[in-house]
Amino acid sequence: MNDNYLTDEDRNNIAWKQYSNYKEGAIVNIPDKGKMGYVSKVVNNKETGEQAYIVTDKKLPKNPTSEDLASVGNVTVLYRGSTAPSAGNIVNPWNNDFSDVRKDWLDNDAAIAKQIATNNFTGPTPQLISAAETLNEQMALYKNAYFDIYGHSLGSMNGQYAVSASNYPERIRSAYLYQGPNIYGLLSDKQKKQADKLRERIFNYVDMKDYVPIGYDLKGIGIIIPVDSKEDVGLVDRHMWGGYDYDDHGNLRVPQGKMIGIRTAQTKIFIQGQLNTLDILAKKLKTSGGGLSASEEAYLDSQRVLAVVNGVYQLVEQAIQDLSVEYKKEIGEIEKLWEETLAAARDVGAHLEENEILSALMSGGCTKETLVVQPIAELESTFAEIAAIGADFVSLVNQIKSSVAQQLATDKELAEQVGIL
């Protein structure tokens, strides 16, 4: 699945998969996007209550060789939230007995909440520790893979702790965490430094109207994203993303000015991910040919440029979408101002004719031309210029793609080598 096309809503759909009932080898599909990968491992730790799915980008045999493991380029870890007390509930797909409920709610949720509420931090619970062990084991197993971590509620706390305690932070591509308490205070000094270093790879979404995510009046892990959530939502539904609101492009509604920082960080991740993929390709080409030919070097260089341009365009496209919303809002406010001005003048000059009211407004410099037509024309001109920047990026991307396609068309051997990825 191409990460370039994942929206906020797509990522929410990925996070929901932690509550599915998968078996090893199952295909994980994302609505409207297709296949995300294959479940390589189902984690169900009876000692700590930790439950998670490990999803690889390639289907592996039952007894994978070291070569099979080395071929995996991306792994997604889905940490599941707390098991609901009622069997058969959507958040209890494994239908565990009450011991799992007790481990989640009493041994972890309540214990962590007490530390946060009293500001008396005594350290991680057993499930947080086992979650970190799971991530480290998988990162050691898939030595060439970059990792994306998802978690909700207790799963968010597991994810927060796991990335902070990872032995391989350089291979953590991103973490998307939802509706979990802030566990920054539970970390050791070393783990806090690592969490701070990874900040722009961790997206910590919080609907503050939910009763679960507590402790965010203090420093947190990752970019803390306060969700601009819906009002009329029940407590349980709100905790299960019920307050999240998306626009027509799948963008989550967050407070004004917050989204550009999020998209900038995500664009960096996207570009680095593309460059990582090209590094893997370069290694394969070197292995197959003993070194890189001039055409292979040219191909890799063009792809690196394309990765950066694609990433920047993605950021520009998001900015244009955000500006489009603001543009429409601004036009509405301009038109509303004129109507309110006209209504106030009519009230004050109720004894006057309409043309006399308009003439009085004109003498004060208030006309529809100056208050509506001209400001809207200026907005349209500015927005058109910004949209043109996006069009220029599209043109540049298409030119590079065309150049690469021509190169592959004339170099059949290179095309075959690239095609093996």
pLDDT value for 264: 74
Q: Distance between CA atoms of 74 and 14, rounded to whole angstroms?
A: 15
Lookup: tokens for 351: 């004894």
Taking the C-alpha atoms of residue 402 and residue 192, their distance in angstroms, rounded to an integer, is: 46
- Alpha carbon distance 243, 392 (integer Å): 37
Query: So what's the pLDDT on residue 93?
Result: 43
Q: What is the pLDDT of residues 238-287, one digit of tens each?
A: 999 999 999 888 889 988 667 767 777 777 777 767 667 667 666 666 66
Name 42's Cβ contacts closer than 8 Å, sequence gap at least 6: 22, 23, 24, 53, 54
| Contacts for 58 with CB less than 8 Å, ≥ 6 apart | 37, 38, 71, 72, 73
Tell me the pLDDT tens digit for each residue of 181-219: 999 999 999 999 999 999 999 999 999 999 999 999 889
User: Stretch 80-95: mean pLDDT, rounded?
Assistant: 59
DSSP letters spanning 153-210: THHHHHHHHHHHT-S-GGGEEEEEEES----GGGS-HHHHHHHHHTGGGEEEEE-TTS
Confidence (pLDDT) at 395: 74
Task: Please give the pLDDT value at position 354.
Answer: 83
Residue 85 is predicted with a pLDDT of: 65
Q: Residues 249-261: pLDDT tens digits?
A: 888 998 866 776 7
In this model, does residue 361 exceed pLDDT 60?
yes
| Amino acid at site 409 | A
> Which H or E run includes 242?
none
Contact (CB, 8 A) for 176 and 14:
yes
Q: Can you read off the two tokens belonging to residue 392?
A: 């220029």
Structural domains of the chain, ranges and CATH numbers in brackets = 3-254 (3.40.50), 274-419 (1.10.287)
